[in-house]
């Protein structure tokens, strides 16, 4: 998974430079569906220090297939999505500011901006559980049903996509919408778009502005 290693290093650094996390906060992975492996960032190493050879390859049981580092403590949460959802091939967890503000309030992010449709009709906040536990993985999976993003209570955000580029796009758009919602909420009550409009937006996004990694 040489290409995947380099992509994880690239997008891990992007999380830092774009201000979506700090230090070692967050984790990223890409799955190999042919072998039921996943490449995931290592635990406890700042993103700007991670090299391709530090990326850990594990199977769905958590057994290290390749690498001499410890995989992210959230590996169970990543693998759960790969096991149960065929539309997700990359998962990103970050500590973005505005999404985390909502997560600390344990609020959902409603459809007050049409760009929420990249993630679903809205973004739910999962029930709280300790980081790195199977309970958190299950809570996140449940709250992200029919969606591509979830807020992790008192923690951060988790997103998925058919590749890492699209997963990152979901992260960016949800964080933007959380920022706007925060600002609008501070001076009034944001208006929520109807479900019919969000369904229309989801259909439009199928053919507009989709980016894909070069093979």
At 205 the three-state DSSP class reads helix
Whether the Cβ atoms of residue 157 and residue 174 lie closer than 8 Å to each other: yes
Note the pLDDT of residue 205: 84
Distances (CA, A) of 69 to 63, 92, 157, 205: 12, 19, 24, 39
Does 207 score more than 80 pLDDT? no
pLDDT band at 215 (very low <50, low <70, confident <90, very high): low
Note the pLDDT of residue 206: 79
- Give the model confidence (pLDDT) of 182-206 as tens digits: 999 999 999 999 999 999 998 888 7
Q: Determine the average pLDDT of the residues in 10-35.
A: 94
- Give the model confidence (pLDDT) of 120-153 as tens digits: 999 999 999 999 999 999 999 999 999 999 999 9
pLDDT band at 213 (very low <50, low <70, confident <90, very high): low
Instruction: Give every CB contact of residue 174 below 8 A, 6+ residues apart in sequence.
Output: 99, 109, 116, 118, 119, 123, 149, 157, 159
- 74 catalytic? Reply is yes
Whether the Cβ atoms of residue 43 and residue 28 lie closer than 8 Å to each other: no
Q: Determine the average pLDDT of the residues in 71-82.
A: 96
Q: Determine the average pLDDT of the residues in 207-214.
A: 60
pLDDT band at 210 (very low <50, low <70, confident <90, very high): low
Note the pLDDT of residue 24: 85
Catalytic residue among 34, 49, 74, 196: 74
pLDDT band at 211 (very low <50, low <70, confident <90, very high): low
């Amino acid at each position: 998974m040489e290409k995947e290693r380099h992509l994880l290093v690239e997008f891990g650094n992007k999380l830092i430079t774009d201000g979506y996390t700090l230090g070692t906060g967050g984790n990223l992975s890409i799955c190999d569906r042919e072998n039921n492996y996943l490449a995931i960032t290592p635990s406890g190493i700042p993103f700007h220090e991670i090299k391709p050879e530090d990326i850990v390859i594990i199977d769905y049981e958590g057994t290290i297939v390749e690498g001499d580092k410890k995989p992210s403590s959230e590996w169970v949460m990543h693998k759960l999505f790969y096991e149960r959802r065929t539309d997700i091939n990359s998962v990103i967890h970050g500590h973005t500011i505005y999404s985390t503000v909502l997560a600390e309030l344990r609020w959902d992010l409603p459809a007050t901006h049409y760009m929420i449709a990249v993630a679903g009709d809205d973004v739910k906040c999962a029930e709280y559980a300790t980081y790195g536990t199977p309970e958190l993985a299950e809570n996140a999976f449940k709250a992200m049903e029919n969606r591509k993003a979830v807020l992790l209570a008192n923690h951060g955000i988790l997103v998925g996509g058919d590749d890492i580029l699209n997963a990152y796009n979901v992260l960016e758009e949800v964080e933007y919408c959380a920022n706007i919602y925060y600002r609008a909420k501070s001076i009034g009550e944001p208006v929520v778009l109807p479900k019919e409009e969000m369904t229309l937006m989801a259909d439009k996004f199928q053919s507009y502005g989709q980016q894909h990694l070069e093979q």
